Structure 1
């Protein structure tokens, strides 16, 4: 089934890009979600509506989990579920930047089997199906082989580098970098533009699911911050942080974390 789902996801995500780029980021109507959950725009909702229609019509027996749809326990009764972030990096979108992404995954019994991450403004399409490898614009990609922190560039927000986050009381010496979209960060790790990434905040499944498979199929490793495997379509769709990278850097990050 993964190979059968992937063409559908690719078609849908390109349609999403066409819809989203029809809005002008800085002038798109926006408002803030309750409880400090961040901004949302009319573009997020338009993309969500499109994807829900296209994907559910094609796979009516799949469940649905999306950032922009009120969650329902109904999805827990489905063996397969779409996990969708209509626009990952909404703040970037509203600023008129080009680092926002669409992310779509299919999870089967908790494991992602097909995934796409698409940055329409950069014409970057990351794809993966379980057991079939990971690709960027149709070209195979592979995670970094860097082994030492001194040679590594790690995608991480500033709070992650606080001394209390690390076992030794000091953040390892690596080159830090940042991108606003978690899905894009995982794509960048998968293509070895960066050696690893981590976020220690609770992370929503829709931010991570697609990128998680892409990293794994690119030969990398990904887990929560305690080293446990990631599972999706959980009753509470939040993960206990995320650590990803080439296998040795992933292991080194886990070992260094408090």
Structure 2
């Protein structure tokens, strides 16, 4: 690392402070105004936008050379020339936030050359702060966490939507005998794998980078692995910031990967 470059641990400290400020803003909205995004991209609230503005201002001022990719900011090709980039989901699990559930998160990450090097996921209503920086392990509220060692689908739990358990997505139509559960926030799903509370996660549909960037590092630093649904490594700050689904887990990851059917062409 060049002498003038910020260490990942310093970037992590910045992300944590910003996430805590984001929580103060988001939890201050009792009944936020809600809009539907274009092209069926789901709802957005004035809280999402307020958090996004604050994060863009604060993080941009602290690291003016970093690029910016956020769910709630219009994308710009300028980010592609940045060595480091913030990848942000101001409120991951907006539907849960609207419903008054506690299952939403602030998901903040820094990526360098396609790889996440610092990450923070904060669930304010649950008092959960997941953190990691490259080579530093993963923590939950300052305590080291580790991904599951369970490799038997019959004893395993998988986080994902009902679609993930449809027979057409599995080789020979044979759905593994996992117990399925669901959480609204993709970032939290990855963090739940990192702390070993669940064994795997699967999403079939194309997945935005801001949904999984932070959680991917937290899981990998906890000894787990996240890939796309074909088993390819996830890369970040791509021109089109989506992956072909996500399969993640601890020891169960290669077991499920071997059983997934190839997606249809086109």
TM-score by length of 2: 0.95
Structure 1 residue 170: Cα displacement = 1.9
Match of 2:92 among 74, 88, 106: 88
For 1:123-134, list aligned pairs within 5 A: 123-134=127-138
Match of 2:56 in 1: 52
Distance 1:223 1:34 in 2: 28
Deviations for 1:157-208, whole angstroms, at most 9, x for unmatched residues?
0011111000021211011000011001001000001011010110000000
In the alignment of these two chains, the number of paired residues is: 255
Asked whether 1:66 is paired with 2:48, we answer no
Distance 1:134 1:54 in 2: 25
For 1:109-148, list aligned pairs within 5 A: 109-148=113-152
Distance 2:160 2:93 in 1: 15
The unaligned stretches of length 5 or more in structure 2 are 1-6, 262-266
Asked whether 1:174 is paired with 2:195, we answer no
Match of 1:251 in 2: 254
Asked whether 1:233 is paired with 2:237, we answer yes
RMSD: 0.6
Match of 1:192 in 2: 196
Structure 1 residue 221: Cα displacement = 1.1
Deviations for 1:28-70, whole angstroms, at most 9, x for unmatched residues?
1001001111000000000000100110000000000000000
Distance 2:74 2:148 in 1: 38
Match of 2:16 among 10, 21, 29: 10
Distance 1:125 1:38 in 2: 26
Match of 1:21 in 2: 27
Distance 2:243 2:148 in 1: 24
SS in 1 for 2:90: strand
Asked whether 1:108 is paired with 2:108, we answer no
The unaligned stretches of length 5 or more in structure 1 are none
